[in-house]
Structure 1
Amino acid sequence: MPAKKNVQAFLDKVKAVLRKVRTAKQEVVIRSLNPLIRGWANYHCNQVAKEIFHKVDMVIWKLLWRWARRRHPNKSGTWTKERYFLRHGSRTWVFGTKVLGENGKESVVKLVRASDTPIRRHAKIKGEANLFDLAWEQYFEDRLTRSMKDKLQGRTRLLNLWVGQDGVCPNCQEPLTRETGWHVHHIVPRALGGSDSLSNLLLLHPNCHRQTHSLGNSGLPAPLKRGFAEA
Structure 2
Amino acid sequence: MLNPVIRGWAQFHQFANSKRTFNFVDHAIHQRLWRWAKRRHPNKSKRWIRKKYFKTIGGNNWVFFGEDKGKELILLRASRFPVKRYVKVKLEANPFDPNWELYFEKRLALKIADNLKGRRQLLQLWKEQQGICPVCKQKITKLTGWHSHHIVWRSLGGSDSQENRVLLHPNCHSQVHSLGITVEKPRPLRGV
Which TM-score tier does this pair reach, normalised by the shorter chain? 0.7 to 0.9
Change beyond 3 A, Cα 1:48–1:213: same
Change in CA separation of 1:130 and 1:83 when aligned onto 2, cut-off 3 Å: same
Within a 5 Å distance, the mapping from 1:87-126 to structure 2 comes to: 87-96=56-65, 109-126=73-90
Q: Distance in 1 between matches of 2:113 and 2:130?
A: 19
Q: Shift in Å at residue 93 of structure 1?
A: 0.8
After superposition, the C-alpha distances for 1:1-22 in whole angstroms (9 at most, x for unaligned) are: xxxxxxxxxxxxxxxxxxxxxx
- The yes-or-no answer on 1:73 pairing with 2:37 is no
CA distance in 2, matches of 1:160, 1:86: 42
Instruction: Report the number of matched residues.
Output: 190
Give the C-alpha shift of residue 165 in structure 1.
2.9
Instruction: Using the TM superposition, name which of 80-89 and 133-142 deviates more.
Output: 80-89
Question: What's the TM-score once normalised by structure 1's chain length?
Answer: 0.70
Give the match's secondary structure for 2:166. Answer: strand
Give the aligned partner of residue 150 of structure 1.
Answer: 114
The aligned runs of 1:42-57 (5 Å cut-off) are 42-57=11-26
Give distance in 1, aligned partners of 2:50 and 2:172: 56
1:93 partner SS = strand
- The yes-or-no answer on 1:159 pairing with 2:127 is no
Residue in 2 that maps onto 1:219: 183
Query: Does 2:31 align with 1:62?
Result: yes
Which one of 160, 169, 175 corresponds to residue 133 of structure 2? 169
Distance 1:223 1:121, change over 3 A: farther
Could you tell me which runs of 5 or more consecutive residues in structure 2 were left unpaired when the two chains were aligned. none
Taking the aligned partners of 1:166 and 1:100, their CA distance within structure 2 comes to 45
RMSD over aligned Cα atoms: 2.9
Residue 154 of structure 2 aligns with an amino acid whose one-letter code is R
What is the identity percentage for the equivalent residue pairs of Structure 1 and Structure 2? 51
Change (3 A) 1:64 1:162: farther
- Give, in whole Å, the separation in 1 of the partners of 2:65 and 2:129: 42
Q: TM-score, normalised by structure 2?
A: 0.83
What is residue 15 of structure 1 aligned with on the other side?
none
In 2, distance between residues paired with 1:188 and 1:224? Answer: 20
- Given the superposition, is the C-alpha separation of residues 82 and 140 from structure 1 closer, same or farther in structure 2, using an over 3 Å criterion? same
Give secondary structure in 2 for the equivalent of 1:203: strand
Q: Which runs of 5+ in 1 are unaligned?
A: 1-31, 102-106, 226-231
For the residue of structure 1 that corresponds to 2:183, the secondary structure is: coil
Task: Judge conservation of contact 2:135–2:183 (CA < 8 Å) in 1.
Answer: no
How far residue 177 of structure 1 moved from its aligned partner, in angstroms, is: 4.0
- 2:95 is aligned, of 128, 131, 140, to 131
SS at match of 1:171: coil
* 2:51 corresponding residue in structure 1: 82
